[in-house]
Amino acid sequence: MERKGRAHPEWVMMSDRGVSAAVIARLNDVNPEYVREYVRRRGEALRGGPAPTRLALHDRPRPRPSNWPDPDRRWRARLEELDRFLQEHQRRPHARRSDDSRQTGSEWSLAHWLITQRSHHRAERLPLHRERGLDRVLPSWRLDDRSIENESNWRLRLVELLRFLHDHGRFPQHTDMPGDQEKSLAVWVYAQQSAYRAGTLEPERLQWLDRQVPRWRPVREQEERQGSSNSTP
């Protein structure tokens, strides 16, 4: 009597991967015709569609040789180099024009490698696993040195404004004295108000100003906010 045994859904997967019915039958001690019939009847329902097209032997992708070059090997080496630099110097690498040493391994070379990663990211050509690697080593890698410097200067100006408010109890005003610190602060406050009205003030800076300097907004904006708060039940 011919043995049928018990069919398994794995037969469909094995058949789709190129395993012949004869091999599947021999592994499961069943008749090859039973395997073919099961794959034909149940295959489409299990896989959710028709069977994939079988590739001829010469069209099948060959396994990658063990000595195949790793495209990320050099990139990972540069990332490790960046990590060591950060640990040693506690700062980012900088590319100064006066640097004489620009060969691989120098600070100049490492800084330009980081610039290249940002360029690839902006062009959406940086693979996700590389983004994650950079996030792990340097979370702020997406920001260039100029952006970081501008943000630092902005926060320093905010501290100066807070100090002025504490010392004088009022906002800085425009004066006619050249080089006057109060005039410089007044111009800075006006620039923030102008950026807010134009909708170009960054959300994080807006939060900083609202939290630290509640009355910094233009007068009309303050009146509107005050009116809306009074009308709230």
Which pLDDT value is given to residue 81?
94
Rounded CA-CA distance 143/75 in Å is 20
Q: Which of 167, 184, 112, 98 is closest to 145 using CA atoms?
A: 112
pLDDT-based confidence at 210, cuts 50/70/90?
very high
Which pLDDT value is given to residue 2?
46
Task: Give residue limits of the domains in the chain.
Answer: 10-52, 73-137, 145-231
Cβ of 183: how many Cβ atoms within 10 Å? 16
What is the per-residue pLDDT across 21-31, written as a single tens digit (0 to 9) for each? 888 888 888 88
CA angle 100/85/152 to nearest 5° reads 90
**Contact of 138 with 82, CB cutoff 8 Å:** yes
What is the per-residue pLDDT across 118-139, written as a single tens digit (0 to 9) for each? 999 999 999 999 999 999 999 8
pLDDT-based confidence at 10, cuts 50/70/90?
confident
